[in-house]
Chains A and B, each alone.
Chain A
Amino acid sequence: MKKSIQILGALVIMTVGGCSGGGGGSDRGLLPAIAENAGNMFSGGRAEKVNEFNIEQTFGPEQIAAMSAPTLAGHLLTRDVWSGMTLAFSARGYDTYHTSEGIGLSFRSDVVVSTRGIGGDLFASDMSGTIRALAAGGGGQYQKSMRFLTPLSGFRDVSLTCRMRRDNVERFVIAQRSFSARRYTETCTSEGLSVENHYFRNDAGKILRSRQWLGSEGGYIELFRLKG
Chain B
Amino acid sequence: MMTGKTTGILVLALGAMVPSVTLAEQLRFPATLNTSGVPGVIEMPSSASLEDGQLSVTTAHFGNISRNTLTFQISDRMSGSFRYSATRDWPNNGVNTYYDRSFDLRYRLLDETNWRPSLTIGLQDFVGTGLNSAEYLVASKHFGDRVRVSGGIGWGRLGSYNSFSNPLGLDDRPTDFEPTGGTFNFDRWFHGPAALFGGVEWQATDRLRLMAEYSSDGYIEEVGRGLIERKSPLNFGASYQIRPSVDLGLFYLYGSEAAVRFNVLLNPKNPAMGSGNESAPLPVNPAARAAAMSWPAQQSLPSEVTSQIVEAAKPVFEASELELEALHIGDRTATVRFRNPGYMVESQAFGRVARIMTHLMPQRITTFRLVPVDQGMELSALEINRADLEAAEHAPDGGESLYSRVNFYDPATTGLEDGVIAEGLYPRLNWGITPYVNAVLFGLENPLLADVGLRLSGSVDIAPGLSLNGSVTQLVIGNGDDEGDIETTSLPVVRTDRSLYAANNSPAIERLTLDYVFRPGRNFYGRFSAGYLESMFGGVSTELLWKPVGSRLAFGAEINHVMKRDYDQQFGFQDYDTTTAFLSGYYRFDNGYHAQLDVGRYLAGDIGATLSLDREFANGWRVGAFVTRTDASYEEFGDGSFDKGIRVTIPLGALTGQATRDTSAFALRPFNRDGGARLNVQGRLYERVREYHNPEVAESWGRFLR
Contacts and interface: CB of A to CB of B under 8 A. Distances in A.
A24 interface: yes
Most buried by A among B395, B399, B702: B702
B329 to A, nearest CB: 11
Interface residues of A, number: 58
Interface string A123-157: 11110000000000000000001011111111100
Interface in A1-60: 2-4, 6-8, 10-11, 13-15, 17-26, 46
Interface in A61-80: none
B394 A155 contact: no
Interface stretch (B121-129, B309-317, B680-688): B309-317
B359 A124 contact: no
Given A7-B320, A153-B702, A21 B294 contact: yes
Contacts of A4: 279-280, 282
Given A26-B289, A153-B345, A154-B702, A20 B277 contact: no
Contacts of B311: 18
Interface string A77-104: 0000000000011011010101001111
Given A6-B315, A18-B308, A89-B283, A125 B396 contact: yes
A116 B312 contact: no
A73 B284 CA distance: 24
Contacts of A113: 394
Q: What class of interface size applies to chain B in its complex with A? A: 35 or more
B279 A2 contact: yes
Contacts of A18: 308-309, 311-313
Contact of B399 (A11, A117, A124, A152): A124
Nearest to A106: B394
A116 B706 contact: yes
A92 B276 contact: no
A124 B275 contact: no
Contacts of A23: 293-294
B215 interface: no
B635 interface: no
Contacts of A13: 312, 315
Contact of B280 (A91, A103, A153): A103
A17 B295 contact: no
A123 B309 contact: no
Given A19-B293, A91-B285, A104-B281, A124 B397 contact: yes
B699 A124 contact: no
A19 B285 CA distance: 15
B535 interface: no
B274 A126 contact: no
Nearest to B654: A151
Interface stretch (B74-82, B265-273, B373-381, B445-453): B265-273
B316 to A, nearest CB: 5
12 contacts: A10-B316, A19-B294, A20-B295, A22-B293, A24-B293, A119-B273, A119-B275, A147-B398, A151-B269, A153-B700, A154-B618, A155-B398
A118 interface: yes
B619 interface: yes
A149 B275 contact: yes
Given A18-B312, A124-B395, 15 more contacts: A3-B279, A3-B319, A4-B282, A18-B311, A89-B283, A102-B280, A104-B279, A113-B394, A117-B278, A117-B279, A124-B396, A147-B397, A151-B275, A151-B654, A153-B703
Nearest to B400: A155
Contacts of B21: none
A114 interface: yes
Please list the 6 inter-chain residue pairs (A to B) with the smallest Cβ-Cβ separation, ordered nearest first. A104-B280, A24-B292, A102-B279, A14-B312, A18-B312, A21-B294
B396 A217 contact: no
B286 interface: yes
A121 B657 CA distance: 12
Interface of A: 2-4, 6-8, 10-11, 13-15, 17-26, 46, 88-89, 91-92, 94, 96, 98, 101-104, 106, 108, 113-114, 116-121, 123-126, 145, 147-155, 217
A149 B702 contact: yes
A19 B360 CA distance: 9
Interface in B111-125: none
B320 to A, nearest CB: 6
Interface in B309-347: 309, 311-313, 315-316, 319-321, 345, 347
Chain A contact residues: over half helix, strand or loop, or mixed? mixed
Given A14-B309, A23-B293, A149 B703 contact: yes
Contacts of B286: 91-92
Contacts of A120: 274-275
A19 B290 CA distance: 11
A81 B5 CA distance: 60
B13 interface: no
B617 interface: yes
A101 to B, nearest CB: 8
Contacts of B700: 153
B305 interface: yes
Contacts of A154: 618, 702
Contact of A19 (B279, B295, B395): B295
B279 A124 contact: no
A100 to B, nearest CB: 11
B701 interface: yes
Nearest to B702: A153
Nearest to B345: A153
Contacts of A15: 293
A119 B706 CA distance: 11
A152 B390 CA distance: 24
Contacts of A14: 309, 312-313, 315-316, 360
A19 B91 CA distance: 77
A10 B294 CA distance: 18
A155 B704 CA distance: 12
B706 A149 contact: yes
A147 to B, nearest CB: 5
Contacts of A2: 279
A151 B271 contact: yes
B94 interface: no
Contact of A94 (B273, B280, B394, B703): B394
Most buried by A among B271, B359, B700, B706: B359
A200 to B, nearest CB: 24
Given A121-B275, A124-B398, A151-B654, A19 B309 contact: yes
Interface in B244-284: 269-271, 273-284
